[in-house]
Amino acid sequence: MRFPSLRFAIAASLASVLLLSAPAHADQAAKRAKKENNRYVARDVETLYNAAKDQLDKRRYKIAALLFDEVERQHPYSIWARRAELMSAFSHYLAQDYNESIDAAQRFLSIHPGNKDAPYAMYLIGVDYYEQIGDVNRDQKTAQQALDAMGELIRRYPDTKYAADARLKVDLINDHLAGREMDIGRFYQRRAEWLASVYRFRKVVDAYPTTSHVPEALLRLTESYLELGVLGEARKSAAVLGANFPGSDWYQRAYGLIQKNEAGAVPASGKAAKKAKKAKA
């Protein structure tokens, strides 16, 4: 699942720049700039800040981040330093150096927790994680980190424009996480591990009830319960599916399975269980 890019929205919040890929030589230039900066050439704060902003406008994001860091290093108590800390996080984000961006934003929050730009710093941390979310077949730690960061932003600054956007992202992240659970549940179904599949599909229904995966999860629960021979639970799953998604193909399939079962058909695993019971007797 691919998530929409947030770079245009973020750039509109902080800087009117076009969000294009950095030049191929950006890494080398950034290393040279870092080496030069380490020699500590003292420069007045306005010159340093304007040089960083100039590099940002030229889409040399790595170099811009280094220069914004230099503003903070050389002039730590100036009003420019506070602004430069956040711009450094923003520049790292544009360079797709997400971990560096997170570190810079977290540093800003630790030093200036009550600053008017604190909501944006928290939002930037959230989208840094959000941009790194992979497909549903990968480990979902980053998706959970994005969800936690967005949730914290919504909790602390519910009336900001960043929280409004974060709520939309939370829905997308939840849908992504539910998709992962569905993928695992189907895997267990293919292996006829019905208890394990029930656990995964149940989690989708209980933990992600507003996502697009719920109708299929209810059908898969119906299938899994029937295979386990738990007809009552299968009927409940099908009934919930019918009550909430009455016109869906998922419900038609679940209804057909229940009707077939009640007409006397027994799932393959159910037959195997009966044979085993007879053998023991």
pLDDT in tens, 111-139: 988 899 999 999 999 999 999 987 656 66
- pLDDT score for 95: 95
pLDDT, position 164: 95
pLDDT of residue 210: 93
Whether the CB-CB separation of 245 and 251 falls below 8 Å is answered with yes
Structure tokens at 6: 């947030």
Q: CB neighbours (10 Å) of residue 90?
A: 27
Q: Does pTM surpass 0.75?
A: no
Contact 61, 22 (CB under 8 A): yes
Burial 99-122 (b: 16+ CB within 10 A, else e): ebbbbbbebbbeeeeeeebbbbbb
Query: Whose CA is closest to 27, among 97, 99, 84?
Result: 97
> What are the tens digits of pLDDT across the range 213-233?
999 999 999 999 999 999 999
pLDDT for position 136: 56
In order of 92, 97, 218, the CA distances from 102 in angstroms are 9, 9, 38
Which segments of the chain have a pLDDT < 70?
1-43, 135-139, 265-281
pLDDT at 44: 78
Q: Which residues contact 269 (CB under 8 A, 6 or more apart)?
A: 192, 194, 227, 228, 229
